[in-house]
Amino acid sequence: RRNPSALIPSVRLLAPSTTRAAFSSDTTTSPPEQDEPRKVWVSNEPGDAKSAALDPTHPRDLYMRRSTSKLLGPMGGALTLAGLGGLGYIHLLEYVQFWDAVCVSLVASGSMSLAASIKHEAETKKQLEKSEQKFEFKLLNDSYLHYKEVKNLEGVLDLNVIYPKELTDRLTVARGKQVKECFDQREERTTQLTERMKTSLDAGATFKEAMEELHPRVFVLDFVDNIGRRKPTQSTRDVVHRFADMVSLVISVANKHDEVVVRVTSPGGAVMDYGLAASQMARLKRAGLSTVACVDTVAASGGYMLACVADKLVAAPFAFLGSIGVVAQMFNFHKVLKRVEVDPLLFTAGKYKRTVTPFQETTPDAVEKFNKDIAEIHDAFKEHVSDHRATLERTIDDVATGETWLALQAKQHGLVDELMTSDEYLRGRMDRFDVLLVQPVKRKKSLADLLEKTASESAAAMSQLLSGSWIGGLFGRGAAEGAVQARSAVPLESIEAVDRDHFGRSGHL
């Protein structure tokens, strides 16, 4: 059955022309201090896959059937050997044929058991081979990431220089003093950590909890929606689904001492897609994990809807944020069709099943209803921002005008917490945390993968093309699903400091 929502015009988040912002004197880029206690929400998900495995609650695990596959092989071998040995013994003593039949039966039973065992092992191995690893972890700490570069630098500089004896003696004393200070600091840190572990263990902490406190981690997730690029590689829907998979993975392996950093790059997208992405971020908070959103270039419209959910939002000074608004656009061809004497027929049940369409005559009642729908979406967007940004310096109506600001301005309005790049924030965490990037596994491309990639790129390019024209209202990504689209709009000619590829067409996104 054809989807009747295919004629709903597309609706997107609005961002009018931005004005150049005056430089702010508040450009502090130092890493933040220790986080204050946060409100931990109640989650319906298990917080740790390891703990769930140690304490199973699913009936499948509680009433696990004992596998007999490991017994089939030895049992089959024993029966086969017994049967063959019996046959040889009978033929030597020339016993009656009845015992021949018994021994043959033993050989047959043993052979069948061996065959069943081999088949079971082959099927298990095949299932394991089919299971595909979607993501992998990459350690970003400087001591591991730039190890070869540091060694190369030391070799290039070659500091084996012969200095005068007096200078050499002074340098030796200074080096010894520095080494002693380093060892003292390390000893002090070790003592503090040991005492803290003793306190935790005396308070009843388990071995697993103690190890989690000793080795805190920062998981880095990338949310990059490049639908506005000239050659998009993924649709927004695919980006959101991959983000959901990464969130599920992190929730299953993280603990209360860990932190999750989401690097957001997005000019916006469909309301239902970014509403789902924001809900995925909320899952991390409900699981009791500390969340930080980092914006280096743009998180406008739907992108800000996602980023504002985090406990802390940091952005580069010239990143674009905001665009808390809604926009809808379409062409109406009623007069053109009337001129060529073509009557479009539309059959609906329900007063507001269809309001404004590309081919029907627009009535004041339909326009009023459609504007009301847009206003309700805008109100929901404002409530969403208000709930997650308690630090707003102005009322939500003052910032939810659809404007897009530089992070310098957004911080003054309370839309941003800190001004720094994601790299600076992560390096500030490397002294106490293992910083791990969660990324898709790179695998060899087959012909099917290439065809799938080509189809995905074509669909994303078509979605981008249709979202900026009247066809988007008829067949567009959001409209074809009877939903509302959300995308920020920033005229590219007024933004020279930002990569143009992060935005769509001029005036439409």
Q: Is 131 a catalytic residue?
A: no
What are the φ and ψ backbone dihedral angles of 308, each rounded to 5 degrees? -70, -10
Contacts for 500 with CB less than 8 Å, ≥ 6 apart = 492
Residues facing 221 on adjacent strands: 262
Radius of gyration of the chain (CA): 32
**Beta strands at 312-315 and 418-419: parallel, antiparallel or unpaired:** parallel
Burial (Cβ within 10 Å: 0-12, 13-18, ≥19) of residue 283: buried
Closest Cα partner for 73 from 36, 115, 101, 102? 115
- Backbone torsions φ then ψ of 232, nearest 5 degrees: -65, 140
Structure tokens at 388: 């997650």
- 384-422 CB burial, b ≥16 within 10 A, e <16: bbbebbeeeeeebeebbebbbbbbbbbbebebbbbbbbb
**384 beta partners:** none
- Six token digits for residue 473: 């209202």
* One-letter amino acid of 231: K
Asked about 301 being catalytic, the answer comes back as yes
Which residues pair with residue 217 across a beta bridge?
A: 434
Q: How far is CA 31 from CA 218, 402, 420, in A?
A: 15, 30, 8
Q: Which residues of 435-461 are buried (b: 16+ CB within 10 A; e: fewer)?
A: bbbbeeeeeeeeeeeeeeeeeeeebbb
> Residue 433 is encoded by which pair of tokens?
């945390």
Q: From the candidates 208, 353, 445, 453, which is the catalytic residue?
A: 353
Catalytic residue among 10, 117, 290, 301: 301
Q: How far apart are CA 395 and CA 483, in angstroms?
A: 29
Judge contact between 218 and 436, C-beta under 8 A: yes
Residues designated as active site: 301, 353
